[in-house]
Amino acid sequence: MHPVYGDPDNPPFSPNGTRFYSYHNAAGSDPALNGQLHSGSNPRNSAVYEHPTVSPSNNAAGEATAPRSHRASQISDSGVFGVTGLKNFGNTCFMNSVIQCLIGTKPLTRYFMCGDWKKDFIQASPAYANVTSEYAQVVENMWRGQYGFVSPKDFRQAIADCSEQFRGNDQEDAHEFASFLLDTLHETLNRRHPRPPPERDMTVEEELDFENLDDKQQSDLQWNRFIRRNDSVITNIFQGQIQSRLMCMACRHTSTTYHTFTELSLPIPVSDNNFSELGDANGPPMPNHQPSSNMPINIYQCLEAYAETEVLDGENKWMCPQCKVKRPATKKLMISRLPLVLIVHLKRFSTVGHFREKLSTNVLIPTINLTLQNYVTSSIAQEPTTYNLYAVANHYGTMSSGHYTASVSDGMSSHWNYFDDTKVSQIPESQVTSSAAYLLFFVRTQPR
- Inter-CA distances, 288 with 302, 315, 339, Å: 12, 27, 29
Cα distance between residue 78 and residue 70, in whole Å? 12
Calpha distance 388→41 (Å, rounded): 7
- Burial of residue 176 (CB within 10 Å: 0-12, 13-18, 19+) is middle
**Directed axis angle between helix 106-113 and helix 126-143, to 10°?**
100
Distance between CA atoms of 310 and 329, rounded to whole angstroms?
8
Question: What distance in Å separates the CA atoms of residue 208 and residue 205, rounded to the nearest whole number?
Answer: 5
Q: Helix, strand, coil shares of the chain as percentages rounded to 5? A: 30, 25, 45
Q: Which residues, including other chains, have CB under 8 Å from residue 442's CB and lie 6 or more apart?
A: 341, 342, 343, 344, 370, 387, 388, 389, 390
Catalytic residue check, 403 = yes
For residues 300 and 336, is the Cβ–Cβ distance under 8 A? Answer: no
In terms of Cα–Cα distance, which of 159, 332, 353 is closest to 243?
332
Q: Is 93 a catalytic residue?
A: yes
For the chain, the first-to-last Cα distance in angstroms comes to 17
Amino acid identity at 83: V
Alpha-carbon gap, residue 12 to 290, rounded angstroms: 51
**Nearby residues of 312 by Cβ (< 8 Å), 6 or more positions away:** 246, 318, 328, 329, 330, 331
Give, for 13, the enclosing helix (H) or strand (E). Answer: none
Strand ranges inside 25-168, DSSP E: 85-86, 149-150
Asked if residue 113 lies in contact with residue 16, where contact means CB atoms within 8 angstroms, the answer is no
Contact (CB, 8 A) for 333 and 306: yes
Pairing state between β 240-248 and 329-337: antiparallel
Among candidate residues 2, 24, 193, 403, the one labeled active-site is: 403
Catalytic residue among 93, 101, 162, 302: 93
Per-residue b or e along 372-381, where b marks 16 or more CB atoms closer than 10 Å to that residue's CB: beebbbebbe
Could you list the active site residues? 93, 403
